[in-house]
Amino acid sequence: MRVRRRVRPDRTADVPVAGDVELPAPARLALTAGWNLAESLGLPLLAYAVGARLGGQGPGMAAAAAMAWLTAAIRKVLTGSIPGLLVISGLVLTLQAVLVLATGSVLLFLLQFPVANLALCIAFAWTAPTGRPLVAQLAAEVVALRQPPAAHPGLDRFFRTVTWMWAGIFAASAIGLAVLLAAVPTPVFLLLTTLVTVVGVAVGTLASVLWFIRMLRRCGLRVRFGRA
């Protein structure tokens, strides 16, 4: 007589669900990500450079915000949808333009940087507990990440948690920049603003990628690249 041993499930592991996580072919992936970044960041930056050259900081910020919303309108007409990254860019640039144009005060001009980070913190935190966390939306739009057909608890938990992480990164950046604004001269503040932004985004991106790889291994999922 054979005795079957009952194996207790590991409650700490994610339940694997059939299916792969799919990304476009590397060349198409680079093109998709580059296009999204160009229309959300590159075009507004170009518009800012032209506007600032012609009329100063205020017109430059207004031109950048206008370019973001113009691109969003064109996207809506051509594709029927607006990428989340483009919406975020438009909202942040609009907020910054309002602060810059409200007065000629140097303080308000500098205040746009911590306020923009605070706005990003609220945007990520607002969607983190929902069924559409912002990081999941950006992954689908910016790098065309396709999840398995069936909902996967490990993926869902990952995107919610990483969205909270990015909200924390932008909250820390907002607080840090507010402290620096009160403590250091303007030229030093502008330099440190660039440093804080670059370091924060780099650390957050690296942490997200490493966390994503760990989650895939834990859940038994694989990344499959599409054909070029």
Q: What is the pLDDT of residues 61-71, one digit of tens each?
A: 889 999 999 99
CA-closest candidate to residue 145, choices 29, 27, 17, 11:
29
Q: What percent of the chain has pLDDT over 90?
A: 18
pLDDT tens, residue by residue, 114-166: 888 898 899 999 999 888 899 988 888 888 788 777 677 888 899 999 999 99
- Within 10 Å of residue 94's Cβ, how many Cβ atoms? 18
CA-closest candidate to residue 193, choices 178, 207, 208, 177:
177
